[in-house]
Every structure is written in structure tokens, then in C-alpha cells.
Structure 1
Amino acid sequence: MNLQQIEATKVILSSPQKIVIVPHKNPDGDAMGSTLGLYHYLKNRGQEATIISPNDYPKFLKWMPGHEHVVNFEKDTLHAKQLISEATIIFTLDFNHLGRIDQMKPFLEEAKATFIMIDHHQAPGDYADLMYSDVSMSSTCEMVYNFIEFLGHKDQINSDIANCLYTGIMTDTGSFKFLSTTSRTHRIAADLIDKGANNTQIHNKVFDTNTPSRLHLLGCALKNMVILEEYHTAYITLSQEELDGNHYKKGDTEGFVNYGLTLDGICLAVIFIENKEDGIVKISFRSEGDFSVNEFAKKHFQGGGHTNAAGGKSDVSLEDTAAYFVSLLDNYKEQLKA
């Protein structure tokens, strides 16, 4: 965020505002951690702020301070639409084009508010009036920490803010192992612990609250894993029948895709998850090294994200989606050398 934009933000926030904070659809730890962290900061500064999530989010994130105040657009549409229409500022966090908020999109497009984007994904859209976009950042939560520091209020980060921001940094860095994790990321994490983030408790609440059905679903996913040694690739499929048979709940498949990368010699891991209600196959891509799953997802699967972590979707059957994916790999054989 350049100096001009920082000063403009300071001026806007120097007077009372009606603020709406929006994460992307199917929000993850970074999306909810960043929105809740910013929410507490703004509330402590005397602002009227509300988080509106496009839809529900996983149970393992519903311990964070302030989560009970999040408005679910799907469940409370009329109230959410009113808040959006009355907002003077709309923050969009952890996404950079309005297609990521699904049915909320037309209402944000009609909004008269000033838009402020904070995000670390590639190829940002041009809808925001003020934009803090940096693809080198480990997480949007790290950026919210920087944002608060830019405004001169780092000393106002309390334990509620710290717990929320630490959660998003931890989850989006793969517990600090991804390439985007820098020495500054660690210094910020340390400062958040000093300011009250309970790192041990956060890890336990996010990663150690499994249900038997989720572990059974994981077993099913690993049993379905296909390893393509020639392409240094592993992929998993999960059908709607398998999800239903294992009592799938939102968030249950979080992290499943990463298991492929734990295999020696694998540099591309993918999971295909059938969603018959939406008529799509949801896809998550992970890679190691220089292979850009962002470019791969953008070119072939209506998606995108980061160089080593991206998402996409397919409108054909689960079987045809997997077959199409495999058919593409020969074109990338040289790039997929582990």
C-alpha cells in the first residue's frame, strides 16, 4: 500500500463510518482470521463494522473471538442486503475479483460505498477504490497486521486481534512451511503471540478437533489416491456418494489435497470433489517448486490463486474431469520434474 493510499485510508477512517467486511465464498482460516481481526480493530477504533460472509464456514473456525457476530448472506439475505446498501466503506479481504463472492456480487456492484481491497492473490480486479495487493505475502492476515501498522496502530493489537490473525497466518502457510513464509512472517507471528495469541490452543482448535466421520472420509480419500509417477503427480477423487456416506460437513476435506505432496517425488497434488447440488466438480491444486498451479487452473479449470496453491472447477462429471486432467499432463511433463 503506497503512502498516498495509506493517507487516504487514514482520512476516511478518521470519521465514523458504516463498514461491511466481506471474505470470499467458502471462507477458510485466512479469510475468517483476516476479517475478524480487522473487525476487532475497527470496532476498537469506534467504527460500526459488520462481517458478511457469502455462506457458512467450517466449525473448526467457529471459536475465534467475534465469530458469533458474522452475518451469513445465505441465511440472512435481507439483513445483509440492507447492511451493504447502507455501508459507506466495504472492505474485501482474501479475494480480488467479485466473482469469488457468488450471489453477493450484484449487490456489491450496486453499492455506493468506498471499496478497500486487502488481498494476496494474483491478477487483482479493478473494482476497489483503495487497494493493498501483494502476491508475495504469506496470507491476508499478515497483510491486515501490516495494514494496522501502516495506520500507526500496531500497539492497539489486542489478544482478540492477535488470535484471529495468527490463525490465518498459520493455516495459509501450512503451519509455516510454505515458500511464502518469510522471516518477517515469523516475526509477526512472534509479536502476535506476545500480544496474546495462544498458538498451542489455536493449533489444537483448528487441527485437532476431528470427528470420526471426517477421519473415515480421509481414509476414503487416501484409498482413492492415484499416483502418476511419470508425471510426479498424485490426485484424489471424492464422489458425492462418498461424501454423503461419510456424513460430510463443510470444511471436512480441508487439507486433504496436501497429502499427495507428502509422497517422495511428487510435485503436483490435486483433489477433485463432486458437488451435485451446484452441478460442478470442485478442484484444489497444490505444487512444489516452480510449477504454477495458478496458471494451470486458470487455463484449464476456470480458476486461479497462487503459484503453489490454487482452485478451480469443472462442469463435467467427476470421471470425465479426472480423465481430462490426466490427458493434460503430457503437455507439462518437463515442468513436472520433481
Structure 2
Amino acid sequence: MLDLASLSELLSQPRKIVITTHHKPDGDAMGSSLGMYNYLIQQGHHAKVIAPTDYPEFLNWMPGNGEVIIFTENRDLSATLIADAEIIFCLDFNALSRINDMGPLVGESKAYKVIIDHHLEPEDFDDYRHWDINACAAAQLVYTFIVGQLQHPELINKDVATCLYTGIMTDSASFRLPNTTSEVHRIAAHLIDAGANNSRIHELIYSSSSENRLRFLGHCLANCLEILPEYNTAIMSVSKADIAKFDVNTGDTEGIVNYALSIASVHLAAFIVERSDKVKLSLRSKNEFPANEICKKYFQGGGHRNAAGGQSDESLEATVAKFKSILPEYKTLLLQ
């Protein structure tokens, strides 16, 4: 394992560096990755962000996005960069399986691996770890890594600040979740002072829906929402036919589960969508309800207590039935 002094020494001269994050990256994944990228290039490092898969178009405006390599679209170049890297930053994920086909390449690379993450139970594949499950976002930890550990607050420029603010804002549900502490607000204030245009970032993230996405949201609310009052639970189930009908693109389903959770009586919300290969689940919960436990125990997944995800090899109908069958086990918690 590397200690901080050794890592700082490594970073004191230009290195070949790869930055990567989990598949289907969200705002925190890309915000933390591009924040790290914009920090490293100021020091002359040869840094590249490699995303395992594509990601939503509403994230494409972030500084440095034009330099991102999509692994599934450029496997050979990605494999070469990973093999040649001296350091690989692994941001916002805790297991090599979370980067899909990139996992074996990163695992076999001779590069030093640095995990910066806030998920439970990280795998032991890293050489240095900046990890805190209480952090509201990986972007928060990238900030504390740069400012607190490496002692480079002066390198939080406008580009770094913009990306990190985006990551913190999106993963904290616009600063609403319980882990949005006073420290998080102080970090956000510093990022705004450094040049992050908070109102513009909110607009770019939350006011950039396509017409199809808005119509799809209306369909989900009108036709796919089921309330189970006996369990204070809401379910939205979406078929492949729905996905095709509304021409749903990457990112169009993001956040829809939160509409179900916004119902006053709902303590647990599930968005269950039929994809081409598997059925995917996104769970959101209020207060102390362990959404991550359900995903880990029953749906090959995990995540945070109030925001988790999983998958199923069964049909959409069977997956919904399985989810409902689990609820009696948690009835006491759900009715609190």
C-alpha cells in the first residue's frame, strides 16, 4: 500500500494517469472524474478519463468532456492507455465489476490504483484509498483529497470547481439528503467562490430535458405508478416496449424514481425497468430505511442506505412480484 507521502511524491512529476468511474456514469461519477482531470492537467500530468460506457447528454457540457474516451466505443486505445498508465484513479466505485469489461484490464495493470469513493465494502484492489461512506458524493472526496490531503487549494480553478460542484449537487439531490452537512455547504461555497456558476449548473442539469423524456416521465406517472399503502411503498415498472415507444436514451430514466418518493406517505420507491439483457432496479428511501440491503440481498446490487440499485435475470413481471414478496419482511420499518 502507498502512504500519502509516497503518493504525493509520485504526483510531484508528470505521470501517465487514467481516471475511470462506474458504468453508466451519473453526475457524481463524471463530475468527480472531470474534476480530477482538470486538477491533474494543471500539473502537467498526461491524464485521460475513460468511461466504461456512455452517459447522459445533459453532462456533456462539463469542462474536459471533449477529451473523455468511451471504452465501449474505443476498446483498443483504452486498453493501451490502461496498460501504459502509472497511476489509475478509480472514482465513485468500490469493485472492479462496476466498470464492466474494463475490470480485468485495470486489475491486471501494473499502475498504482487509487480509490476515491463513498460506497460500502470496497474491494481490496487498490494501493491507496481515500474513502468515507459518510461523504455525500465522490466529488466531495475528490475535493478533500486535493485540498486536504495534497494541500493544493490554489488548484481549485473554475473548471475543477464546476465539475466538483456538479458531482456534489447531483449526488446530494440538490443538497437535500441527510449527509449534506455543514462541511458540504462550506465546500460548495468555496467552489462557487472559485468560479462554479451554481445557478447555471442547476439549469444545465435539471432544465435540459428532451420532449421525449418529458412525455416518458408523464407516461411513467400516469400509467406505471403503483402505490402499496399497506407498505408505504411505490413502484414504477417500465417495459421494453415503453422504452422503445418513447425513444428513451441514456440518462432519460435518471431521477424518475424520486417522483414516486416525493409522495408524502411513501417511504420506499422502486423504479424497475426492462432492458435488453436484464431488468434493472433503482430504489430510493426516506429516513433510516435500508434500500441498499434489499438490493444486496435480493437483486445482485447495493449502494447507499437511501439510494441503491440492482438487477434481475427474471422477467419484468417476475421481478416486480419478487420485489413485492420482500416487502412483508420490512413492514415494521416501512410503517414507522
| TM superposition score normalised by structure 1 | 0.97
Q: Give 1:134's aligned residue.
A: 132
Unpaired segments ≥5 residues, structure 1: none
Residue aligned with 2:47, SS? strand
Give the counterpart letter for 2:70 in structure 1.
Answer: N
Q: Give 1:234's aligned residue.
A: 234
| 1:34-82 deviation digits (Å, cap 9, x = unpaired) | 0000001010011110000001110000000000000010001100000
Question: 1:6: how far off?
Answer: 2.3
Q: Give 1:175's aligned residue.
A: 174
Alignment of 1:252-331 (within 5 A): 252-276=252-276, 279-331=277-329
Q: Give 2:218's aligned residue.
A: 219
Question: 1:122: how far off?
Answer: 0.6
1:72 aligns with 2:36: no
| 1:216-263 deviation digits (Å, cap 9, x = unpaired) | 110111121110011010010111110110011100011001111111
Moved over 3 A (4+): none
- Work out the CA distance in 2 between the residues paired with 1:272 and 1:280: 11
1:24 is aligned, of 3, 22, 25, to 22
| 1:3-31 deviation digits (Å, cap 9, x = unpaired) | x8322221111122110000100000000
Give the counterpart letter for 1:69 in structure 2.
Answer: E
Give the counterpart letter for 2:150 in structure 1.
Answer: L
Question: 1:335: how far off?
Answer: 1.2
- Work out the CA distance in 1 between the residues paired with 2:256 and 2:308: 14
Question: 1:281: how far off?
Answer: 0.5
Residue aligned with 1:291, SS? coil
- Work out the CA distance in 2 between the residues paired with 1:71 and 1:186: 32
Identity over the aligned pairs, expressed in percent?
47
- Work out the CA distance in 1 between the residues paired with 2:7 and 2:28: 22
Alignment of 1:49-68 (within 5 A): 49-68=47-66
Question: 1:282: how far off?
Answer: 0.7
| TM superposition score normalised by structure 2 | 0.98
Q: Give 2:186's aligned residue.
A: 187
Residue aligned with 1:219, SS? helix
Residue aligned with 2:227, SS? strand
Alignment of 1:144-163 (within 5 A): 144-149=142-147, 150-163=149-162
Residue aligned with 2:76, SS? helix
- Work out the CA distance in 2 between the residues paired with 1:161 and 1:105: 27
Indicate conservation of the 8 Å contact 2:62/2:162, yes or no: yes
Question: 1:165: how far off?
Answer: 0.3
Q: Give 1:205's aligned residue.
A: 204
- Work out the CA distance in 1 between the residues paired with 2:152 and 2:235: 45
Give the counterpart letter for 2:273 in structure 1.
Answer: I
Q: Give 1:82's aligned residue.
A: 80
